[in-house]
Amino acid sequence: MHTQKTKAPNNRWWRGGVIYQIYPRSFVDSNGDGIGDLAGITEKLDYVASLGVDGIWLSPFFKSPMKDFGYDVSDYCDVDPMFGSMADFKALVARAHQLGLKVMIDQVLSHCSDQHPWFVESQASRDNPKADWFIWADAQMDGTPPNNWLSIFGGSAWQWSAQRNQYFMHNFLSSQPDLNFHNPQVQAAMLDAVKFWLDLGVDGYRLDTVNFYFHDQQLRNNPGRGKPTGEDPALLDQYPDTTMVGEIGDDDGLARVAEYTQGEDKLHMAYCFDLLGTRYAPDFLHGVIQRFEALAQGGWPCWALSNHDVVRWATRWGGVDANPAFLRLAAAMQMSLRGSTCIYQGDELGLPEAELAFEDLKDPYGITMWPKFKGRDGCRVPMPWRYAAKDLGFSRAPVPHAPAWLPVYEPYRPLAVDVQQLQADSLLNFYRTLLHWRKTQPALVNGDMTLLPCDPQVLAYVRASDSERVLCVFNFSEHTVQWPIPAHLQVEKELTGSGLAGAKLAQDQVTMPAWTGLFARLK
Protein backbone atom coordinates (compact mmCIF):
# COMPACT_ATOMS: atom_id res chain seq x y z
CA MET A 1 0.00 0.00 0.00
CA HIS A 2 1.12 3.56 -0.67
CA THR A 3 1.74 5.57 2.45
CA GLN A 4 1.37 9.27 3.11
CA LYS A 5 4.34 11.38 2.07
CA THR A 6 4.86 15.10 2.00
CA LYS A 7 1.67 16.63 0.67
CA ALA A 8 2.15 18.38 -2.67
CA PRO A 9 0.65 21.84 -3.22
CA ASN A 10 -2.80 21.94 -4.78
CA ASN A 11 -4.11 25.12 -6.42
CA ARG A 12 -7.62 23.62 -6.38
CA TRP A 13 -8.17 24.52 -10.04
CA TRP A 14 -10.97 21.99 -10.05
CA ARG A 15 -12.96 23.81 -7.38
CA GLY A 16 -15.45 25.65 -9.55
CA GLY A 17 -13.72 24.45 -12.69
CA VAL A 18 -15.50 23.48 -15.92
CA ILE A 19 -14.58 20.07 -17.33
CA TYR A 20 -15.31 18.99 -20.90
CA GLN A 21 -16.00 15.27 -21.29
CA ILE A 22 -14.70 13.63 -24.45
CA TYR A 23 -15.93 10.21 -25.57
CA PRO A 24 -12.93 9.23 -27.72
CA ARG A 25 -14.75 6.83 -30.07
CA SER A 26 -17.05 9.59 -31.27
CA PHE A 27 -14.98 12.78 -31.20
CA VAL A 28 -12.63 12.75 -34.22
CA ASP A 29 -11.35 9.87 -36.38
CA SER A 30 -7.86 10.80 -37.59
CA ASN A 31 -7.02 7.69 -39.61
CA GLY A 32 -10.27 6.79 -41.38
CA ASP A 33 -11.02 3.51 -39.60
CA GLY A 34 -14.41 4.79 -38.40
CA ILE A 35 -13.38 5.08 -34.75
CA GLY A 36 -12.36 8.27 -32.98
CA ASP A 37 -8.85 8.29 -31.55
CA LEU A 38 -6.32 10.17 -29.43
CA ALA A 39 -4.67 11.92 -32.39
CA GLY A 40 -8.08 13.21 -33.44
CA ILE A 41 -8.70 14.60 -29.96
CA THR A 42 -5.33 16.37 -30.01
CA GLU A 43 -6.29 18.04 -33.30
CA LYS A 44 -9.41 19.53 -31.73
CA LEU A 45 -7.95 20.68 -28.42
CA ASP A 46 -7.74 24.25 -29.73
CA TYR A 47 -11.51 24.12 -30.22
CA VAL A 48 -12.04 22.78 -26.71
CA ALA A 49 -9.77 25.43 -25.21
CA SER A 50 -11.65 28.14 -27.11
CA LEU A 51 -14.81 27.26 -25.17
CA GLY A 52 -13.28 28.55 -21.96
CA VAL A 53 -13.22 25.24 -20.08
CA ASP A 54 -10.54 24.36 -17.55
CA GLY A 55 -9.88 20.75 -18.42
CA ILE A 56 -10.93 17.64 -20.28
CA TRP A 57 -12.08 14.26 -19.07
CA LEU A 58 -11.31 11.36 -21.41
CA SER A 59 -13.54 8.30 -21.30
CA PRO A 60 -11.53 5.02 -21.32
CA PHE A 61 -8.91 4.46 -24.00
CA PHE A 62 -7.12 1.54 -22.32
CA LYS A 63 -6.65 -1.91 -23.86
CA SER A 64 -9.99 -3.69 -23.86
CA PRO A 65 -12.02 -6.31 -25.75
CA MET A 66 -14.63 -3.49 -25.93
CA LYS A 67 -17.61 -5.54 -24.74
CA ASP A 68 -18.63 -2.35 -22.90
CA PHE A 69 -16.60 0.03 -25.05
CA GLY A 70 -13.58 0.40 -22.82
CA TYR A 71 -15.25 0.05 -19.44
CA ASP A 72 -13.96 -3.55 -19.49
CA VAL A 73 -10.22 -3.03 -19.15
CA SER A 74 -7.73 -5.79 -20.02
CA ASP A 75 -4.59 -3.69 -19.41
CA TYR A 76 -4.73 -0.65 -17.13
CA CYS A 77 -1.34 0.65 -18.26
CA ASP A 78 -1.54 0.76 -22.04
CA VAL A 79 -3.49 2.42 -24.86
CA ASP A 80 -5.78 0.25 -26.96
CA PRO A 81 -4.41 0.24 -30.54
CA MET A 82 -7.79 1.38 -31.91
CA PHE A 83 -7.19 4.71 -30.13
CA GLY A 84 -3.52 5.01 -31.05
CA SER A 85 -0.31 4.60 -29.10
CA MET A 86 1.30 5.72 -25.88
CA ALA A 87 3.14 8.33 -27.93
CA ASP A 88 -0.25 9.66 -29.07
CA PHE A 89 -1.38 9.94 -25.47
CA LYS A 90 1.78 11.78 -24.44
CA ALA A 91 1.34 14.18 -27.36
CA LEU A 92 -2.27 14.81 -26.29
CA VAL A 93 -1.23 15.63 -22.72
CA ALA A 94 1.56 17.91 -23.91
CA ARG A 95 -0.74 19.84 -26.27
CA ALA A 96 -3.48 20.14 -23.65
CA HIS A 97 -1.00 21.57 -21.16
CA GLN A 98 0.30 24.03 -23.78
CA LEU A 99 -3.27 25.29 -24.13
CA GLY A 100 -3.76 25.55 -20.37
CA LEU A 101 -6.10 22.54 -20.21
CA LYS A 102 -5.93 19.98 -17.42
CA VAL A 103 -6.26 16.31 -18.41
CA MET A 104 -8.43 13.93 -16.40
CA ILE A 105 -8.86 10.29 -17.36
CA ASP A 106 -11.49 7.71 -16.57
CA GLN A 107 -10.40 4.97 -14.18
CA VAL A 108 -12.51 1.81 -14.05
CA LEU A 109 -11.37 0.34 -10.77
CA SER A 110 -14.48 -1.54 -9.65
CA HIS A 111 -14.19 -4.24 -12.30
CA CYS A 112 -12.09 -5.28 -15.27
CA SER A 113 -12.46 -7.49 -18.33
CA ASP A 114 -12.74 -11.25 -18.03
CA GLN A 115 -9.82 -11.25 -20.49
CA HIS A 116 -7.55 -9.40 -18.06
CA PRO A 117 -4.62 -11.66 -17.05
CA TRP A 118 -5.61 -11.22 -13.41
CA PHE A 119 -9.01 -12.82 -13.97
CA VAL A 120 -7.66 -15.53 -16.27
CA GLU A 121 -5.32 -16.57 -13.45
CA SER A 122 -7.94 -16.19 -10.73
CA GLN A 123 -10.40 -18.38 -12.61
CA ALA A 124 -7.85 -21.14 -13.23
CA SER A 125 -8.00 -22.60 -9.70
CA ARG A 126 -8.95 -21.89 -6.11
CA ASP A 127 -5.38 -21.82 -4.82
CA ASN A 128 -3.42 -19.67 -7.29
CA PRO A 129 -1.82 -16.33 -6.22
CA LYS A 130 -4.78 -14.33 -7.57
CA ALA A 131 -7.52 -16.73 -6.47
CA ASP A 132 -8.94 -14.09 -4.10
CA TRP A 133 -8.56 -11.07 -6.41
CA PHE A 134 -12.19 -11.38 -7.52
CA ILE A 135 -15.44 -12.18 -5.72
CA TRP A 136 -16.02 -15.92 -5.84
CA ALA A 137 -18.71 -17.91 -4.02
CA ASP A 138 -20.13 -21.40 -4.02
CA ALA A 139 -23.58 -22.14 -5.34
CA GLN A 140 -26.45 -22.67 -2.96
CA MET A 141 -27.54 -26.25 -2.29
CA ASP A 142 -29.87 -26.19 -5.31
CA GLY A 143 -27.18 -24.81 -7.61
CA THR A 144 -28.59 -21.29 -7.73
CA PRO A 145 -26.49 -18.12 -7.22
CA PRO A 146 -25.20 -17.26 -3.73
CA ASN A 147 -27.73 -14.47 -3.14
CA ASN A 148 -30.30 -12.22 -4.80
CA TRP A 149 -27.98 -9.46 -6.03
CA LEU A 150 -28.81 -8.13 -9.49
CA SER A 151 -26.65 -6.77 -12.29
CA ILE A 152 -27.22 -3.18 -13.40
CA PHE A 153 -27.58 -4.57 -16.93
CA GLY A 154 -30.30 -7.05 -15.93
CA GLY A 155 -30.43 -10.51 -14.40
CA SER A 156 -28.35 -12.00 -11.63
CA ALA A 157 -25.08 -10.38 -10.58
CA TRP A 158 -23.53 -13.85 -10.50
CA GLN A 159 -22.03 -15.85 -13.39
CA TRP A 160 -21.14 -19.53 -13.17
CA SER A 161 -17.54 -20.58 -13.96
CA ALA A 162 -17.13 -24.24 -14.84
CA GLN A 163 -13.37 -23.87 -14.41
CA ARG A 164 -13.58 -23.04 -10.71
CA ASN A 165 -16.95 -24.67 -10.14
CA GLN A 166 -18.03 -21.42 -8.48
CA TYR A 167 -19.91 -18.23 -9.21
CA PHE A 168 -18.14 -14.89 -9.69
CA MET A 169 -19.81 -11.53 -9.12
CA HIS A 170 -20.37 -8.83 -11.76
CA ASN A 171 -22.27 -5.61 -11.16
CA PHE A 172 -22.45 -4.96 -14.89
CA LEU A 173 -21.84 -7.34 -17.84
CA SER A 174 -20.86 -10.93 -17.07
CA SER A 175 -17.64 -10.13 -18.95
CA GLN A 176 -16.85 -7.49 -16.29
CA PRO A 177 -15.97 -9.42 -13.11
CA ASP A 178 -15.81 -7.33 -9.96
CA LEU A 179 -12.47 -6.96 -8.23
CA ASN A 180 -12.23 -7.85 -4.54
CA PHE A 181 -11.28 -4.57 -2.88
CA HIS A 182 -11.19 -6.25 0.52
CA ASN A 183 -7.90 -7.79 -0.68
CA PRO A 184 -4.98 -5.39 0.05
CA GLN A 185 -3.10 -6.76 -2.97
CA VAL A 186 -5.93 -5.61 -5.23
CA GLN A 187 -5.87 -2.15 -3.69
CA ALA A 188 -2.10 -1.92 -4.18
CA ALA A 189 -2.34 -3.06 -7.81
CA MET A 190 -5.03 -0.50 -8.60
CA LEU A 191 -3.05 2.29 -6.96
CA ASP A 192 -0.04 1.29 -9.04
CA ALA A 193 -2.19 1.73 -12.17
CA VAL A 194 -3.34 5.15 -10.94
CA LYS A 195 0.28 6.16 -10.27
CA PHE A 196 1.34 5.04 -13.76
CA TRP A 197 -0.76 7.73 -15.46
CA LEU A 198 0.00 10.39 -12.84
CA ASP A 199 3.67 9.89 -13.65
CA LEU A 200 2.81 10.56 -17.30
CA GLY A 201 1.36 13.93 -16.37
CA VAL A 202 -2.39 13.46 -15.99
CA ASP A 203 -4.03 15.99 -13.69
CA GLY A 204 -6.78 13.89 -12.21
CA TYR A 205 -9.27 11.09 -12.47
CA ARG A 206 -12.94 10.47 -13.00
CA LEU A 207 -13.60 7.36 -10.95
CA ASP A 208 -16.21 5.11 -12.53
CA THR A 209 -18.94 3.70 -10.24
CA VAL A 210 -16.98 4.76 -7.17
CA ASN A 211 -19.62 3.53 -4.70
CA PHE A 212 -19.46 -0.01 -6.13
CA TYR A 213 -15.89 -0.81 -5.04
CA PHE A 214 -16.61 -2.72 -1.85
CA HIS A 215 -19.08 -5.57 -1.54
CA ASP A 216 -20.66 -7.05 1.57
CA GLN A 217 -18.22 -9.78 2.59
CA GLN A 218 -20.99 -11.86 4.12
CA LEU A 219 -22.86 -11.84 0.79
CA ARG A 220 -26.15 -11.07 2.50
CA ASN A 221 -29.28 -10.57 0.42
CA ASN A 222 -29.94 -6.87 -0.25
CA PRO A 223 -27.14 -5.68 2.04
CA GLY A 224 -27.39 -2.33 3.77
CA ARG A 225 -25.19 0.51 2.62
CA GLY A 226 -21.77 0.63 4.19
CA LYS A 227 -19.54 3.60 4.88
CA PRO A 228 -17.32 4.71 1.98
CA THR A 229 -13.81 3.32 2.21
CA GLY A 230 -10.93 2.46 -0.01
CA GLU A 231 -9.70 5.21 -2.33
CA ASP A 232 -6.37 6.26 -0.90
CA PRO A 233 -6.23 10.07 -1.19
CA ALA A 234 -2.61 9.99 -0.09
CA LEU A 235 -1.46 8.93 -3.55
CA LEU A 236 -2.93 11.92 -5.39
CA ASP A 237 -1.80 14.17 -2.56
CA GLN A 238 1.77 13.41 -3.65
CA TYR A 239 1.16 14.99 -7.08
CA PRO A 240 0.64 18.76 -7.31
CA ASP A 241 -2.67 20.24 -8.49
CA THR A 242 -4.40 16.90 -9.10
CA THR A 243 -8.01 15.95 -8.43
CA MET A 244 -10.56 13.12 -8.30
CA VAL A 245 -14.23 13.21 -9.23
CA GLY A 246 -16.37 10.19 -8.43
CA GLU A 247 -19.45 8.88 -10.22
CA ILE A 248 -22.13 8.01 -7.66
CA GLY A 249 -24.90 5.63 -8.73
CA ASP A 250 -27.15 5.28 -5.70
CA ASP A 251 -30.79 5.57 -4.68
CA ASP A 252 -29.79 8.54 -2.52
CA GLY A 253 -27.13 10.04 -4.73
CA LEU A 254 -27.04 13.48 -3.08
CA ALA A 255 -26.36 11.97 0.34
CA ARG A 256 -23.58 9.80 -1.07
CA VAL A 257 -22.01 12.78 -2.89
CA ALA A 258 -22.00 14.73 0.37
CA GLU A 259 -20.64 11.75 2.30
CA TYR A 260 -17.90 10.95 -0.21
CA THR A 261 -16.63 14.56 -0.50
CA GLN A 262 -16.71 15.80 3.11
CA GLY A 263 -13.45 16.63 4.82
CA GLU A 264 -10.00 16.60 3.27
CA ASP A 265 -9.51 12.82 3.19
CA LYS A 266 -11.95 11.62 0.52
CA LEU A 267 -12.90 12.58 -3.04
CA HIS A 268 -12.43 16.20 -4.06
CA MET A 269 -15.80 16.17 -5.82
CA ALA A 270 -18.49 13.78 -7.02
CA TYR A 271 -21.62 13.74 -9.13
CA CYS A 272 -24.83 11.76 -9.03
CA PHE A 273 -27.79 11.44 -11.37
CA ASP A 274 -30.29 13.92 -9.92
CA LEU A 275 -29.90 16.33 -12.84
CA LEU A 276 -29.53 13.54 -15.38
CA GLY A 277 -33.24 12.70 -15.42
CA THR A 278 -36.21 14.41 -17.05
CA ARG A 279 -37.16 16.82 -14.28
CA TYR A 280 -36.11 20.46 -14.32
CA ALA A 281 -39.05 22.40 -12.83
CA PRO A 282 -37.94 25.17 -10.42
CA ASP A 283 -39.35 23.39 -7.36
CA PHE A 284 -37.45 20.23 -8.29
CA LEU A 285 -34.18 22.07 -8.89
CA HIS A 286 -34.71 24.04 -5.69
CA GLY A 287 -35.23 20.80 -3.77
CA VAL A 288 -32.10 19.16 -5.20
CA ILE A 289 -29.92 22.16 -4.36
CA GLN A 290 -31.49 22.65 -0.94
CA ARG A 291 -31.02 19.02 0.03
CA PHE A 292 -27.41 18.92 -1.09
CA GLU A 293 -26.56 22.16 0.69
CA ALA A 294 -28.14 20.77 3.87
CA LEU A 295 -26.12 17.55 3.59
CA ALA A 296 -22.88 18.94 2.21
CA GLN A 297 -20.94 19.97 5.33
CA GLY A 298 -18.10 21.15 3.11
CA GLY A 299 -18.67 18.56 0.39
CA TRP A 300 -18.20 19.68 -3.21
CA PRO A 301 -20.48 18.60 -6.07
CA CYS A 302 -19.80 18.35 -9.78
CA TRP A 303 -22.97 19.19 -11.70
CA ALA A 304 -23.60 17.53 -15.06
CA LEU A 305 -26.67 17.72 -17.29
CA SER A 306 -25.42 15.08 -19.75
CA ASN A 307 -22.84 12.36 -20.11
CA HIS A 308 -22.18 9.26 -22.21
CA ASP A 309 -24.68 7.15 -20.24
CA VAL A 310 -27.91 9.17 -20.50
CA VAL A 311 -30.20 10.71 -23.10
CA ARG A 312 -28.81 14.08 -24.17
CA TRP A 313 -30.09 16.91 -22.03
CA ALA A 314 -31.44 18.96 -24.95
CA THR A 315 -33.94 16.14 -25.53
CA ARG A 316 -34.50 15.06 -21.92
CA TRP A 317 -35.27 18.59 -20.75
CA GLY A 318 -36.15 20.42 -23.94
CA GLY A 319 -38.15 17.81 -25.86
CA VAL A 320 -37.98 16.91 -29.54
CA ASP A 321 -37.51 20.51 -30.70
CA ALA A 322 -35.82 22.22 -27.78
CA ASN A 323 -36.31 25.98 -27.57
CA PRO A 324 -32.87 27.63 -28.00
CA ALA A 325 -33.75 30.15 -25.26
CA PHE A 326 -34.42 27.26 -22.87
CA LEU A 327 -31.05 25.69 -23.67
CA ARG A 328 -29.29 28.99 -22.94
CA LEU A 329 -31.16 29.37 -19.66
CA ALA A 330 -30.36 25.86 -18.46
CA ALA A 331 -26.69 26.29 -19.38
CA ALA A 332 -26.52 29.57 -17.45
CA MET A 333 -28.10 27.90 -14.45
CA GLN A 334 -25.66 24.97 -14.58
CA MET A 335 -22.66 27.30 -14.79
CA SER A 336 -23.78 29.34 -11.80
CA LEU A 337 -24.41 26.51 -9.31
CA ARG A 338 -22.05 26.06 -6.38
CA GLY A 339 -19.68 23.34 -7.45
CA SER A 340 -17.74 22.24 -10.48
CA THR A 341 -19.45 21.49 -13.78
CA CYS A 342 -19.12 18.93 -16.54
CA ILE A 343 -20.04 19.52 -20.17
CA TYR A 344 -20.44 16.46 -22.38
CA GLN A 345 -19.14 16.83 -25.94
CA GLY A 346 -21.90 18.38 -28.05
CA ASP A 347 -23.76 19.99 -25.12
CA GLU A 348 -22.44 23.29 -26.39
CA LEU A 349 -24.05 22.60 -29.77
CA GLY A 350 -27.44 21.69 -28.31
CA LEU A 351 -27.28 18.21 -29.85
CA PRO A 352 -30.50 16.23 -29.39
CA GLU A 353 -30.60 12.49 -28.73
CA ALA A 354 -30.03 10.54 -31.94
CA GLU A 355 -32.70 8.06 -33.00
CA LEU A 356 -31.18 4.77 -34.18
CA ALA A 357 -32.65 1.61 -35.66
CA PHE A 358 -32.26 -1.58 -33.65
CA GLU A 359 -29.87 -3.01 -36.23
CA ASP A 360 -27.55 0.00 -35.74
CA LEU A 361 -27.20 -0.46 -31.98
CA LYS A 362 -23.83 -1.35 -30.48
CA ASP A 363 -24.59 -0.90 -26.77
CA PRO A 364 -25.18 -4.30 -25.10
CA TYR A 365 -27.42 -2.59 -22.56
CA GLY A 366 -29.76 -1.28 -25.28
CA ILE A 367 -29.69 -4.49 -27.30
CA THR A 368 -30.76 -6.45 -24.22
CA MET A 369 -33.44 -3.99 -23.06
CA TRP A 370 -34.90 -2.94 -26.45
CA PRO A 371 -37.45 -1.46 -27.00
CA LYS A 372 -38.25 -0.40 -23.44
CA PHE A 373 -34.75 1.04 -23.10
CA LYS A 374 -32.86 1.96 -26.26
CA GLY A 375 -29.46 2.02 -24.64
CA ARG A 376 -26.78 4.68 -24.68
CA ASP A 377 -25.87 4.81 -28.38
CA GLY A 378 -28.15 7.79 -29.01
CA CYS A 379 -25.85 10.09 -27.04
CA ARG A 380 -22.66 8.53 -28.44
CA VAL A 381 -23.02 9.08 -32.19
CA PRO A 382 -20.19 11.02 -33.87
CA MET A 383 -19.64 14.70 -33.19
CA PRO A 384 -20.69 16.99 -36.10
CA TRP A 385 -17.79 19.20 -37.16
CA ARG A 386 -18.47 20.26 -40.77
CA TYR A 387 -21.84 20.87 -42.40
CA ALA A 388 -20.80 19.94 -45.94
CA ALA A 389 -18.72 16.84 -45.16
CA LYS A 390 -20.17 13.45 -45.99
CA ASP A 391 -19.62 12.23 -42.44
CA LEU A 392 -20.07 15.67 -40.82
CA GLY A 393 -16.30 15.93 -40.54
CA PHE A 394 -16.00 13.07 -38.05
CA SER A 395 -13.16 11.57 -40.09
CA ARG A 396 -10.39 13.70 -41.55
CA ALA A 397 -9.06 10.81 -43.66
CA PRO A 398 -9.51 10.98 -47.46
CA VAL A 399 -12.77 9.63 -48.84
CA PRO A 400 -13.52 6.78 -49.10
CA HIS A 401 -12.91 5.70 -45.53
CA ALA A 402 -14.55 3.25 -43.17
CA PRO A 403 -18.07 4.13 -42.01
CA ALA A 404 -18.32 5.53 -38.51
CA TRP A 405 -18.70 2.95 -35.72
CA LEU A 406 -22.16 4.41 -35.05
CA PRO A 407 -24.16 6.06 -37.83
CA VAL A 408 -23.53 9.75 -38.42
CA TYR A 409 -26.80 11.46 -37.47
CA GLU A 410 -28.04 13.61 -40.34
CA PRO A 411 -30.25 15.92 -38.20
CA TYR A 412 -27.00 17.18 -36.62
CA ARG A 413 -25.91 18.78 -39.91
CA PRO A 414 -27.31 22.31 -39.26
CA LEU A 415 -25.85 22.15 -35.73
CA ALA A 416 -22.29 21.43 -36.90
CA VAL A 417 -19.42 23.35 -35.34
CA ASP A 418 -18.49 25.20 -38.55
CA VAL A 419 -22.09 26.42 -38.92
CA GLN A 420 -22.48 27.61 -35.34
CA GLN A 421 -19.11 29.32 -35.26
CA LEU A 422 -20.33 31.72 -37.93
CA GLN A 423 -23.64 32.47 -36.20
CA ALA A 424 -23.28 35.20 -33.60
CA ASP A 425 -26.41 34.03 -31.77
CA SER A 426 -25.64 30.28 -31.85
CA LEU A 427 -25.65 28.16 -28.73
CA LEU A 428 -21.96 27.42 -29.28
CA ASN A 429 -21.08 31.10 -29.15
CA PHE A 430 -23.36 31.55 -26.15
CA TYR A 431 -21.39 28.86 -24.28
CA ARG A 432 -18.12 30.57 -25.19
CA THR A 433 -19.38 33.94 -23.99
CA LEU A 434 -20.84 32.48 -20.81
CA LEU A 435 -17.77 30.45 -19.84
CA HIS A 436 -15.27 33.23 -20.48
CA TRP A 437 -17.46 35.71 -18.58
CA ARG A 438 -17.88 33.26 -15.69
CA LYS A 439 -14.12 33.24 -15.13
CA THR A 440 -14.35 36.96 -14.26
CA GLN A 441 -16.96 36.38 -11.54
CA PRO A 442 -15.31 35.00 -8.36
CA ALA A 443 -18.66 34.45 -6.69
CA LEU A 444 -19.79 32.11 -9.47
CA VAL A 445 -16.54 30.15 -9.56
CA ASN A 446 -16.14 29.29 -5.91
CA GLY A 447 -18.48 31.40 -3.80
CA ASP A 448 -21.04 30.24 -1.26
CA MET A 449 -24.68 29.78 -2.19
CA THR A 450 -27.90 30.93 -0.54
CA LEU A 451 -31.17 29.72 -2.03
CA LEU A 452 -34.05 32.18 -2.20
CA PRO A 453 -37.62 31.00 -1.49
CA CYS A 454 -39.05 28.34 -3.77
CA ASP A 455 -41.22 29.61 -6.62
CA PRO A 456 -43.37 27.62 -9.11
CA GLN A 457 -41.73 29.33 -12.10
CA VAL A 458 -38.48 30.88 -10.91
CA LEU A 459 -35.27 29.43 -9.50
CA ALA A 460 -33.25 32.08 -7.66
CA TYR A 461 -30.20 32.13 -5.42
CA VAL A 462 -27.30 34.31 -4.32
CA ARG A 463 -23.66 33.38 -4.88
CA ALA A 464 -21.23 35.20 -2.59
CA SER A 465 -17.45 35.48 -2.39
CA ASP A 466 -15.27 37.79 -0.33
CA SER A 467 -15.35 40.38 -3.13
CA GLU A 468 -18.90 40.21 -4.49
CA ARG A 469 -22.44 38.92 -4.18
CA VAL A 470 -24.33 37.89 -7.31
CA LEU A 471 -28.07 37.42 -7.64
CA CYS A 472 -28.97 34.61 -10.09
CA VAL A 473 -32.59 34.42 -11.29
CA PHE A 474 -34.01 32.00 -13.91
CA ASN A 475 -37.52 31.81 -15.34
CA PHE A 476 -38.05 28.11 -16.07
CA SER A 477 -41.46 28.59 -17.65
CA GLU A 478 -43.00 29.52 -20.97
CA HIS A 479 -44.74 32.57 -19.48
CA THR A 480 -43.53 36.06 -18.61
CA VAL A 481 -42.92 36.42 -14.87
CA GLN A 482 -42.78 39.47 -12.63
CA TRP A 483 -40.40 38.32 -9.89
CA PRO A 484 -40.23 40.58 -6.82
CA ILE A 485 -36.72 41.06 -5.48
CA PRO A 486 -36.71 40.11 -1.77
CA ALA A 487 -36.67 43.15 0.50
CA HIS A 488 -33.38 42.20 2.16
CA LEU A 489 -31.52 42.26 -1.19
CA GLN A 490 -30.43 45.52 -2.75
CA VAL A 491 -29.36 45.31 -6.39
CA GLU A 492 -26.44 47.48 -7.43
CA LYS A 493 -26.52 46.74 -11.17
CA GLU A 494 -27.27 44.07 -13.74
CA LEU A 495 -24.20 42.10 -14.76
CA THR A 496 -23.72 42.05 -18.51
CA GLY A 497 -21.41 39.96 -20.61
CA SER A 498 -22.79 36.50 -19.82
CA GLY A 499 -24.83 36.34 -23.02
CA LEU A 500 -28.00 35.79 -21.00
CA ALA A 501 -30.51 38.43 -22.09
CA GLY A 502 -34.18 39.30 -22.18
CA ALA A 503 -34.95 40.12 -18.56
CA LYS A 504 -35.65 43.69 -17.43
CA LEU A 505 -34.42 44.88 -14.05
CA ALA A 506 -36.37 47.48 -12.07
CA GLN A 507 -35.74 48.72 -8.54
CA ASP A 508 -37.77 46.08 -6.78
CA GLN A 509 -38.56 43.43 -9.39
CA VAL A 510 -37.33 41.56 -12.44
CA THR A 511 -39.53 41.09 -15.50
CA MET A 512 -38.55 37.89 -17.30
CA PRO A 513 -40.09 36.68 -20.56
CA ALA A 514 -40.25 32.92 -21.09
CA TRP A 515 -36.96 31.07 -20.61
CA THR A 516 -34.92 34.12 -19.62
CA GLY A 517 -32.90 35.04 -16.57
CA LEU A 518 -30.60 37.58 -15.03
CA PHE A 519 -27.35 38.00 -13.15
CA ALA A 520 -27.04 41.10 -10.96
CA ARG A 521 -24.49 42.41 -8.49
CA LEU A 522 -25.83 43.09 -5.00
CA LYS A 523 -24.76 45.98 -2.79
Q: Could you tell me if 210 and 247 are in contact, meaning their C-beta atoms sit under 8 angstroms apart?
A: yes
The four Cα atoms 475, 479, 480, 482 give a dihedral, to 10 degrees, of: -70
DSSP state of 508: S
Q: Could you tell me if 261 and 271 are in contact, meaning their C-beta atoms sit under 8 angstroms apart?
A: no
| Dist. CA 10–CA 1, nearest whole Å | 23
User: Is 231 annotated as catalytic?
Assistant: no
Please tell me which residue in 247, 348, 363, 391 is annotated as part of the active site: 247
Phi, psi of 430 (to 5 degrees): -65, -45
| Dist. CA 336–CA 504, nearest whole Å | 19
Please tell me which residue in 29, 114, 203, 208 is annotated as part of the active site: 208
Phi, psi of 18 (to 5 degrees): -115, 125
Residues of 162-187 as b/e, b for ≥16 C-beta within 10 angstroms? eebebbbbbbbbbbbbbbbbebeebb
Phi-psi region of 20 (alpha: psi -120 to 50; beta: other; left: phi over 0): beta
Q: How many residues are there in the chain?
A: 523
Q: Could you tell me if 169 and 119 are in contact, meaning their C-beta atoms sit under 8 angstroms apart?
A: no
User: Is 247 annotated as catalytic?
Assistant: yes
Helix, strand, coil shares of the chain, percent, nearest 5, are 30, 20, 55
DSSP state of 150: B
Q: Could you tell me if 53 and 20 are in contact, meaning their C-beta atoms sit under 8 angstroms apart?
A: yes
Catalytic annotation, residues: 208, 247
